[in-house]
């Protein structure tokens, strides 16, 4: 970048820990280059929508003129508010945005597990009520019991922030606890699958292993984490089925212990082979004659 000889604005959109721009990017810039840290808040599966209609535009800047140029660009595509701050604050804001979502998912899944152990408690009733607390809890997004957090960003950023917490000597590593919660909740789901297998001798199928509905991506898939934990016991090798990931994959014509691992909407109306045990953390599968549908976290 030292070869740049005319005024240029470099906008960096990647997620990184605080201090990365100062350490890795600034030393490469010429005197003619201005840096704007502008991380995108996009999710896999909704990239274009999130780009065209963002909640806000985050700019980490130390050059007001460069910031104004980037703001004029965004004004051609969106009316979202612009939030300016230091580069370091913007770096921290982006990773905290991702890790906060992971924390919400961990809380919602803990509520689901508690409700599954209390006969008259219902996960959806609890989180629906909590989601109305817009003054303090902010929004109902991600506040729904189901599978653990996934994708390429959130688990990665929690791991990165856990490293930063240890590096800075924080009094408590919250991010490690969030990831441990994800791991333990996956272990609980694996235990339920194994319990069904041992009690019946039926094979284990994980139905849906994309990391979220509406995508064929499996990076950071919580369903694949459950499958790995099952394999590690040496008891049984689960079968993973997801027509979004591998088109043409269908449930085999025999009973099985089936974990609904992704909230693909078509699973709500799917017919399962009689004698199957369907473990549904999303509470979406309807009751079926001859099929034991276990809707986790729902009142009994």
Question: Which pLDDT does position 117 carry in this prediction?
Answer: 85
Question: Which pLDDT does position 2 carry in this prediction?
Answer: 53
Question: Which pLDDT does position 4 carry in this prediction?
Answer: 63
Residue 76, classified by CB atoms within 10 Å of its CB into exposed (0-12), middle (13-18) or buried (19+), is exposed
Task: List, as one string, the DSSP characters of 39-82.
Answer: -----TT-HHHHHHS-S-EEEEES-HHHHHHHHHHHTTT----E
- The dihedral of CA 174, 41, 226, 229: what is its sign? negative
In degrees and rounded to multiples of 5, residue 281 shows phi and psi of -70, -10
Residue written as tokens 């030393």?
27
CA distance 239 to 232: 14
Question: Which pLDDT does position 148 carry in this prediction?
Answer: 79
pTM for the whole thing?
A: 0.78
Q: Which CATH architecture has domain 98-295?
A: 3-Layer(aba) Sandwich (3.40)
Question: Which pLDDT does position 114 carry in this prediction?
Answer: 84
Number of helices and strands (H, E) in the chain? 8, 9
Structural domain boundaries in the chain? 8-85, 98-295
Q: Which CATH architecture has domain 8-85?
A: 3-Layer(aba) Sandwich (3.40)
Mean pLDDT of each 10-residue bin along the chain, 300 residues long: 74 93 91 92 85 93 92 94 94 90 86 86 90 76 76 85 87 88 94 97 97 90 96 96 93 96 95 97 94 91
Q: Where are the beta strands (DSSP E) in 165-281?
A: 204-207, 239-241, 257-260, 277-280
Question: Which pLDDT does position 235 carry in this prediction?
Answer: 92
- Domain 98-295 in the same topology as domain 8-85: yes
Sheet of 8-12, strand order: 8-12, 33-37, 57-61, 82-85
52-68 burial string, b = 16+ CB within 10 Å, else e? eebeebbbbbeeeebbe
């Amino acid at each position: 970048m030292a070869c740049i000889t005319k005024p240029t604005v470099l906008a960096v959109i990647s997620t990184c820990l605080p201090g990365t721009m100062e350490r890795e990017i600034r030393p490469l810039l010429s005197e003619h280059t201005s840096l704007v840290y502008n991380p995108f808040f996009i999710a896999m599966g909704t990239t274009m929508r999130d780009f065209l209609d963002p909640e806000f535009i985050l700019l980490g800047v130390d050059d007001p003129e460069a910031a104004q140029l980037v703001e004029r660009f965004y004004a051609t595509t969106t009316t979202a508010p612009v939030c300016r701050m230091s580069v370091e604050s913007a770096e921290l804001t982006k990773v905290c945005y991702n890790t906060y979502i992971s924390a919400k998912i961990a809380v919602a899944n803990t509520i689901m597990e508690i409700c599954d152990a209390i006969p008259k408690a219902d996960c959806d009733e609890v989180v629906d009520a909590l989601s109305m607390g817009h003054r303090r809890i902010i929004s109902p997004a991600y506040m729904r019991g189901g599978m653990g957090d996934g994708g390429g960003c959130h688990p990665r950023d929690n791991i990165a922030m856990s490293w930063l917490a240890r590096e800075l000597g924080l009094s408590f590593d919250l991010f490690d606890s969030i990831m441990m919660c994800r791991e333990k909740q996956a272990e609980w789901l694996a235990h339920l699958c194994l319990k069904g297998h041992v009690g019946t001798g039926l094979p284990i199928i994980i139905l849906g292993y994309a990391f979220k509905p509406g995508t064929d991506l499996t990076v950071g898939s919580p369903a694949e984490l459950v499958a790995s934990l099952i394999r590690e016991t040496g008891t049984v090798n689960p079968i993973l089925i997801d027509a979004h990931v591998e088109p043409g994959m269908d449930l085999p014509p025999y009973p099985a212990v089936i974990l609904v691992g992704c909230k693909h909407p078509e699973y709500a109306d799917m017919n399962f082979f009689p004698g199957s045990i369907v473990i549904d953390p999303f509470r979406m599968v309807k009751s079926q004659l001859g099929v034991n549908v276990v809707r986790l976290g729902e009142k009994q």
